[in-house]
């Protein structure tokens, strides 16, 4: 009888140990997923954009990563469907300044109206691994066609390639692996 109780207690301890090992393995797997996601987004998270407030305003794209990236700009204005302006490869550790006039001149369906109010709604980034990212002022996510702004721009089926001597490329001082 005593042997049966000892054996049952031994099985109970073994079961508890197995359960704890499974929980630890589950936590390690979750941690590994988070680290992989962070590693995957690393380059895209180092590419940002903004519009300078001067009139006409310039759009600035900064690539603080150590790799070049293909960048397209999703341009919106009031009254005309958004369109995608393909900037091409943005060099590593660089700041690219695009005059507003260049974005407007690249518009595939320009209205006869004078300069409308234009805004960069987002940028599309293709990182060194070929993964595409959507970056707006407040979101960085994998690019998906069902994002509303991207859906409208691709519905319009309008994309233009834009690069000229008017685009200024400047080196960045801070670049690379800084967290």
Residues 83-129: pLDDT tens digits? 788 888 899 999 999 888 777 766 656 555 555 567 788 899 999 88
Q: What are phi and psi of 48, to 5 degrees?
A: -130, 170
pLDDT for 115 equals 55
Number of neighbouring beta carbons within 10 Å of residue 9 = 10
Residues 55-83: pLDDT tens digits? 668 889 999 999 999 998 888 766 566 77
Q: 0.75 cut: is pTM over it? A: no
Task: Say whether the peptide bond before residue 161 is cis (omega within 30 degrees of 0).
Answer: no
Task: Say whether the peptide bond before residue 56 is cis (omega within 30 degrees of 0).
Answer: yes
**CA–CA dist 24, 9 (Å, integer):** 23
Residues 33-51: pLDDT tens digits? 776 677 778 899 999 999 8
pLDDT for 151 equals 58
Residue 32: pLDDT above 80? no
pLDDT for 49 equals 93
**CA–CA dist 102, 117 (Å, integer):** 14
């Amino acid at each position: 009888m005593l042997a049966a109780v000892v054996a049952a207690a031994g099985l109970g301890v073994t079961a508890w140990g197995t359960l704890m090992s499974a929980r630890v393995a589950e936590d390690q797997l979750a941690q590994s997923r988070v680290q992989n996601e962070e590693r995957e987004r690393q380059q895209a998270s180092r590419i940002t954009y903004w519009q300078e407030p001067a009139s006409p305003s310039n759009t600035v794209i900064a690539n603080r990563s150590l790799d070049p990236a293909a960048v397209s700009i999703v341009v919106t204005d009031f009254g005309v469907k958004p369109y995608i302006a393909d900037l091409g490869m943005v060099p590593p550790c660089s700041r690219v300044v695009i005059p507003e006039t260049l974005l407007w001149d690249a518009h595939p369906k320009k209205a006869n109206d004078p300069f409308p109010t234009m805004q960069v709604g987002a940028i599309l980034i293709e990182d060194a691994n070929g993964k595409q990212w959507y970056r707006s002022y407040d979101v960085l996510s994998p690019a998906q066609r069902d994002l509303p702004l991207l859906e409208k721009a691709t519905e319009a089926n309008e994309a233009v390639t834009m690069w000229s001597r008017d685009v200024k490329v400047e080196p960045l001082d801070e670049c690379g692996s800084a967290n």
